[in-house]
Each structure stands twice: as C-alpha cells, then as structure tokens.
Structure 1
C-alpha cells in the first residue's frame, strides 16, 4: 500500500534555518486528509528533535503560499502548499 499523504514545502528563515540546518525541505503530512497548519509544528519538531526549533516555533509567524497567517488553526493544508516559518525580526 502506498503512502498517499500529501507533501508541503517548508521554508525556514533566520533562527528556524539555523535550528534545522536547512533553508527548505519537503515534508510529508501525517495523514491524507486536510490538516490545520497548527498541526505542522509537532511534525517539524519530530523531524528535528533537540535542534532548538521548539522555541523558534513558539514565537514564529507563518505564511502559506506567500500569505501571512493570523490563525494557524483556520488554515487547512491539503498538500502542495509552500509554508514559511518566519521567526520574529528584531530591528535596530
């Protein structure tokens, strides 16, 4: 039986890129049906255990297909999306 779970492309910026050691990766979602964006955090943490990503994800902003997301529970990932993890930016 083949795994029919959809994939998304995750883009990592700043501290998220440092924690994961990459700027992007393809991630297979945990089930074939649509999933809330908010469920992606635990999946990313399982792919990068002990990398310090938990702190970054707690304070990050998300974008899906270049649109900023206000409420990660309200956005459903169906596969094929480009999801960006954007840590807080400090200016000076």
Structure 2
C-alpha cells in the first residue's frame, strides 16, 4: 500500500473518532430499557441537559431509571445537577465517554 493511501486512511480514521459527538454507555436496567448498550450524541452538551436528551429519545426513562442512577464521564463519577439548585454544571465534550449506571440490587 502506498504511503499516500496510508495517510488518507489515518486521516479518515482520526476524523471519525475526533468528531463532534460523545458516546453514552447504558448498563443494567438502562440497557434493558433502551435495548442498546450505547448511543452517540452531539457534543458539547451540559450534563444537566443530558437526561432531557435521553428522555426525548426514550420516553419514560427519566422517571424509571435516570432519576436514581449514577453517571461517569471518562470513568470519573460526577454529580448530576438538579435544576434550580445553582449547582455547578459539567460540559460533556466531543470524544468523552459517559456512562449511565443504575442502582443494582442483589438478594
């Protein structure tokens, strides 16, 4: 393969991974509710708006799952600001990996 072709492939791959979106991972009941393990959303978006985006795509998920879940961004747990509390908000950027982790119980 010529060096020009390799360069074209590398540029094409980097433009796909460096786009303007982030990956949202679903675990446990969130995965069951959506029927998926992950979704891709456009970035940037504030963490406080994330649940509204997910609710718009999967009506009912907010009250059944999201209101009691934990969230990570790039493997770091973050607090989801409640509306009207004045808590500091986090911006999800392109390339971030966000995870929705519902409570898990065992018996």
TM-score w.r.t. the length of structure 1 is 0.77
Q: Name the SS for the 1:90 alignment partner.
A: coil
Q: Which runs of 4+ in 1 moved over 2 A?
A: 70-74
The structure that is strand-richer by fraction is 1
**Matched residue pairs, number?**
82
User: Unaligned 5+ residue runs, structure 2?
Assistant: 1-18, 82-87
Check whether the contact 2:71–2:80 (CA below 8 A) recurs between aligned residues.
Answer: no
TM-score w.r.t. the length of structure 2 is 0.67
User: Unaligned 5+ residue runs, structure 1?
Assistant: none
Check whether the contact 2:23–2:38 (CA below 8 A) recurs between aligned residues.
Answer: yes
Q: Name the SS for the 1:68 alignment partner.
A: strand
1:1-92 → structure 2 map (5 Å cutoff): 6-29=20-43, 34-49=44-59, 52-54=60-62, 55-72=64-81, 73-92=88-107
Work out the CA distance in 2 between the residues paired with 1:13 and 1:67: 16
RMSD: 1.9
The residue that corresponds to 2:10 in the other structure is: none
User: Which of these two proteins has the greater Rg computed from alpha carbons?
Assistant: 2
TM superposition shift of 1:64: 0.2
TM superposition shift of 1:9: 0.2
Work out the CA distance in 1 between the residues paired with 2:91 and 2:99: 14
Work out the CA distance in 1 between the residues paired with 2:80 and 2:39: 23
